[in-house]
Amino acid sequence: MSLLQVKNLVVEFPGRRGTLRALDDISFDIAPGEILGVVGESGAGKSLTGAAIIGLLEPPGRVAGGEIVLEGQRIDHLPHEQMRHIRGRKIGAIFQDPLTSLNPLYTVGRQLMETIQTHLPVSAAEARQRAINLLKDTGIPAAEQRIDHYPHQFSGGMRQRVVIALALAAEPKLIVADEPTTALDVSIQAQIIQLLKRVCRERGAAVMLITHDMGVIAETCDRVAVMYAGRVAEIGPVHEVINHPAHPYTAGLMAAIPDMASDRDELYQIDGAMPRLNAIPPGCAFNPRCPHGFQARCRTERPELMPAGATRAACWLHAPDGLVKPIVRESVA
């Protein structure tokens, strides 16, 4: 049974020159206790997907189609006040910059206690003890004293731990973590990753981890969804996607990662750039950058996710009818 189901999600931004479609028919699910990684270049729609699930789309952005279902309840069309309660109680959020989540004028203890008492029926003394325990669980030393400190008195890594404690305060079933390790140094990144994995294991929470770092994905996630131009290009078990990518875009991302065992002088790069929202090509959005050439099908028909070994990929290379034969334009090595 899936904890979260995203079904054919469409997000649009109306404007004076027309409506831009930023997410186009996104579908995936996350099971309890599972970590799903969402990866792709800047502009792929990763953070926007997280914002739509949390209910924090910036106006004039709107969910224009599809459904978001959490524990069997549809949440994409709920009134603001009702969604605010769900956001704290059932969905926790971790953002890239912890200072955007913490009020500099309040102690971290006050912020934790307010969140706890808003969503759980506990006294002030119980909320304080629960806040201390959360700080301990997230690896903050001397939590009994640190609870009365202000955000500026914590280092970047410690602030991120406080934000994780804040996200866990009401014991949510789903955690949406948007680039939670990007601003941290490598050693702190590893600690935060281990913390997320332990939270998932011990609390049975599902985690949606948004990042552009394939190393973090490989270390943390059970499955991964690769996004391109507002669509899911490939989704499957993380080790299969990394070691046997089925979509040319995924293969390009993996080839661009430096390999310590390789003696190449230059890193591989994917030619071109992510298309603008008002210039997404027809057919497969990746076709202008793809190293494989097809008949007209690739440029005119949009591929849906289809079985590709142990994963699913939106690529005509895996067409079940076998009508499309790839023509290699040039070597991608």
| pLDDT reported for residue 308 | 94
| pLDDT reported for residue 327 | 45
pLDDT in tens, 181-210: 877 788 888 888 888 888 888 888 999 999
Q: What are phi and psi of 57, to 5 degrees?
A: -70, 135
Residue type at 142? A
Determine contact, residues 209/181, Cβ cutoff 8 Å.
Answer: no
The most confident of the ranges 24-28, 167-171, 188-192, 215-219 is 24-28
Rounded Cα–Cα distance for residues 267 and 333 (Å)? 10
Would you call 166 helix, strand, or coil by DSSP? helix
| pLDDT reported for residue 330 | 43
pLDDT in tens, 119-152: 999 999 999 999 999 999 888 999 999 999 999 9
Q: In 61-102, where do the E strands start and end?
A: 62-70, 73-74, 91-94
Rounded Cα–Cα distance for residues 325 and 305 (Å)? 18
Q: Indicate the DSSP class of residue 318.
A: G
Residue 319's pLDDT band (cuts 50, 70, 90) = confident
Q: Give the mean pLDDT of 105-127.
A: 95
| pLDDT reported for residue 326 | 53
Query: Tokens representing 179?
Result: 């680039």
Domain(s) of CATH 3.40.50.300: residues in the chain:
4-221
- Bridge-partner residues for 62, per DSSP? 12
Q: Give the mean pLDDT of 252-261.
A: 82
Q: How do strand 223-228 and strand 231-237 relate by DSSP bridges?
A: antiparallel
CATH number of 4-221: 3.40.50.300
pLDDT in tens, 261-310: 777 777 788 888 999 999 999 999 999 999 886 667 889 999 999 999 99
Question: Which of 120-134, 170-184, 315-329 has the weakest average pLDDT?
Answer: 315-329
Angle between helix axes 108-119 and 124-137 (nearest 10 degrees) is 120
Q: Give the mean pLDDT of 217-243.
A: 95
Q: Which residues contact 269 (CB under 8 A, 6 or more apart)?
A: 256
Would you call 73 helix, strand, or coil by DSSP? strand
Rounded Cα–Cα distance for residues 178 and 38 (Å)? 9
Residue showing tokens 């973590």: 177
Q: Indicate the DSSP class of residue 59.
A: T
